[in-house]
Amino acid sequence: MEYILIIVSAVFVNNILLMQFLGVCPFLGVSNKVSTATGMSGAVIFVIALATLVTYLLQYYVLIPLRIEFMQTVAFILVIAALVQMVEIILKKISPSLYQALGIFLPLITTNCAVLGLAIIVVSKEFAFSGTPQMFNLAQAVVYATASAVGFGVAMILFSGLREQLDLNNVPKAFRGTPIALITAGILALAFMGFAGIV
Amino acid sequence: MNRNNFLIKGIFTENPTFVLILGMCPTLATTTSAINGMGMGMATTFVLIVSNIVISLISSQVPGKVRIPVYIVVIASAVTVLQLIMQAFTPGLYNTLGIFIPLIVVNCIILGRAEAFASKNSVGASALDGIGIGIGFTLSLTVIGLVRELLGSLSAFGFKLGGGDGVLVFVLAPGAFLVLGYLMVLFNGLKSKMNK
């Protein structure tokens, strides 16, 4: 039950993209087509699940025992950058078809703030899903981060569908490109506000 | 490059928010009020200036293949310094901006300027470029914050202007997208009018 609450909360109520504004750059950048949006979402879910697992362990077994929590930002971004590189190399070797699908999105993910953002959120915020507010344990942290990444994917794919429709319409000149995309995203965010209060 | 143009470049021709469309996450998330937007802009400006100066100093020594990781470490160190300074002197702002302070590391503006400008230019020019782009970013964030604050809570820079509550949705998440979208329309419209 607790995990269901975490998942619903992360995917819909606190949607990482539309409510917390993490990962807006790829959201606006590669959401022109449903196919690329799906590829990007897949890569993001994969990397976020792995990155949160590693950074959680790093925080609790290296940074806190050594009392160098202030190095969090530097340590996390290095780990994420290295991890993305490693995933790229491993995927190329063991699963060329998956690499073909996700490959071009992987280098972009290092600078996706959703990855670093979630890594920091799950080790620094207290959550109250089961009674008293407390820090996540490892399983909860990974589930929360992965569900947030799924939420990113849901918003991304919905939005790319809307943008494909927008391309067929005659948009006023000043609105073309990013402005109309932002306004569409605003209306989508309004719709997602309807989920508030579920959890 | 003409050194006197760095301000015009940062504010108009290469405005990071309205022209280059970079650094959208902090732009949308921290502009709930004019003060917050300005704080975020100034924090980013600090990191931008420090990282531009350091990177233009070391860029000739860094091998091309590992330059991106090296730049990221320089930027992350500057952000860590900023975090410690803000925790000490402006704890209120530090708590409001929260996660978006460490996230300055992955702000594409900073890595973008490092790669496109600081690695190829002298220290002085890079510092000026950092100041210009930083001021442009701060101004954009302050304007967006001001509009959202005016519409959402009928106040400006924390001062209440009238009775009533305003339209709350502009302070919430959807308002960020809508206000930025319409401001961009305004910017584009003015630009095409001036070009005529």
The 3-state secondary structure of A70-109, one letter per residue: HHHHHHHHHHHHHHHHHHHHHHHHHCHHHHHHHHHHHHHH
pLDDT of residue A197: 76
Mean pLDDT value of segment A111-129: 83
The conformation of residue B110, written as its DSSP 8-state character, comes to: H
Mean pLDDT value of segment B82-90: 93
Number of domains in chain A: 1
> In sequence order, which residues have a C-beta less than 8 Å from that of residue A105 and are 6 or more positions away?
A30, A39, A40, A43, A44
Q: Does B192 touch chain A (CB under 8 A)?
A: yes
Domain assignment of residue A197, yes or no: no
Q: Is A157 exposed, middle or buried (0-12, 13-18, 19+ CB in 10 A)?
A: middle
Average pLDDT, chain A: 86
Residue B161's domain comprises 3-195
- CB–CB of B104/B134 below 8 Å? no
> In sequence order, which residues have a C-beta less than 8 Å from that of residue B82 and are 6 or more positions away?
B43, B46, B47, B101, B104
For residue B156, list its beta bridge partners: B159
State pLDDT tens for residues B14-23.
888 888 888 8
- What is the torsional sign of CA B137, B142, B143, B144? positive
Q: Averaging pLDDT over each range in A30-39, A127-136, A150-159, B104-113, which range is the top one? A: A150-159
Mean pLDDT value of segment B172-186: 92
In B, which residues are within 8 Å of A74 by CB distance? 73, 76-77, 80
State pLDDT tens for residues B117-136.
888 889 999 999 999 999 99
In B, which residues are within 8 Å of A181 by CB distance? 181
Mean pLDDT value of segment A47-67: 93
Domain assignment of residue A13, yes or no: no
Confidence bin at A103 (pLDDT 50/70/90): low
CA of A35, closest CA in chain B: separation in Å?
Answer: 23
In the predicted structure, residue B181 carries a pLDDT above the cut 70: yes
Domain assignment of residue A177, yes or no: yes
Domain assignment of residue A198, yes or no: no
Q: Does B62 touch chain A (CB under 8 A)?
A: no
Scanning chain B, the segments in alpha helix (DSSP H) are: 6-8, 24-29, 34-58, 67-89, 91-97, 108-113, 123-153, 173-195
Mean pLDDT value of segment B60-69: 85
Give the percent of chain B with pLDDT over 90. 46
pLDDT of residue B42: 94
Flag the least confident range among A38-47, A97-106, A153-162, B95-104: A97-106
pLDDT of residue A110: 73
Number of domains in chain B: 1
In chain A, DSSP finds a helix count (H) and a strand count (E) of 9, 0
Please give the C-alpha separations between residue B173 and each of A73, A192, B25, B170, B177, in angstroms, as whole numbers.
26, 10, 12, 7, 7
Domain assignment of residue A42, yes or no: yes
Confidence bin at B184 (pLDDT 50/70/90): very high
Please give the C-alpha separations between residue A12 and each of A18, A24, A137, in angstroms, as whole numbers.
9, 16, 22
- CB–CB of B133/B48 below 8 Å? yes
Q: Which residue has the tokens 């799906």?
A: A38
Relative to beta strand B159-160, strand B155-156 is antiparallel
Q: Which residue of B has its CA nearest to A194?
A: B174
In the predicted structure, residue B53 carries a pLDDT above the cut 90: yes
pLDDT of residue A86: 84
Mean pLDDT value of segment A116-124: 90
Q: In this structure, what token pair is assigned to residue A42?
A: 């897949």
Domain assignment of residue A70, yes or no: yes
In the predicted structure, residue B2 carries a pLDDT above the cut 60: no
CA of B3, closest CA in chain A: separation in Å?
Answer: 30
Task: Out of B77, B83, B106, name the one closest to residue A111 (CB).
Answer: B106
Residues B145, B29: Cα–Cα separation, whole Å: 10
Task: Out of A72, A113, A182, name the one closest to residue B181 (CB).
Answer: A182
Confidence bin at A94 (pLDDT 50/70/90): confident
Please give the C-alpha separations between residue A43 and each of A22, A47, A54, A88, in angstroms, as whole numbers.
16, 6, 17, 10
- Higher-scoring residue by pLDDT: A128, B78: B78
Residues B22, B15: Cα–Cα separation, whole Å: 9
Domain assignment of residue A115, yes or no: yes
Residue B155's SS3 state is strand
Domain assignment of residue A199, yes or no: no
Flag the least confident range among A39-43, A127-131, A187-191, B25-29: A127-131
Residue A68's SS3 state is coil
- CB–CB of B47/B110 below 8 Å? yes
pLDDT of residue A129: 64
Mean pLDDT value of segment B81-87: 94
Confidence bin at A128 (pLDDT 50/70/90): low
Q: Which of B74, B185, B190, B193 to mutate: most A Cβ within 10 Å?
A: B185
In the predicted structure, residue B93 carries a pLDDT above the cut 80: yes
Triad B52, A74, B96: Cα angle to 5°: 85
Helices A34-58/A113-124 angle, 10° precision: 40
Q: Which of B184, B186, B191, B196 to mutate: most A Cβ within 10 Å?
A: B184
Residue A93's domain comprises 2-6+20-191
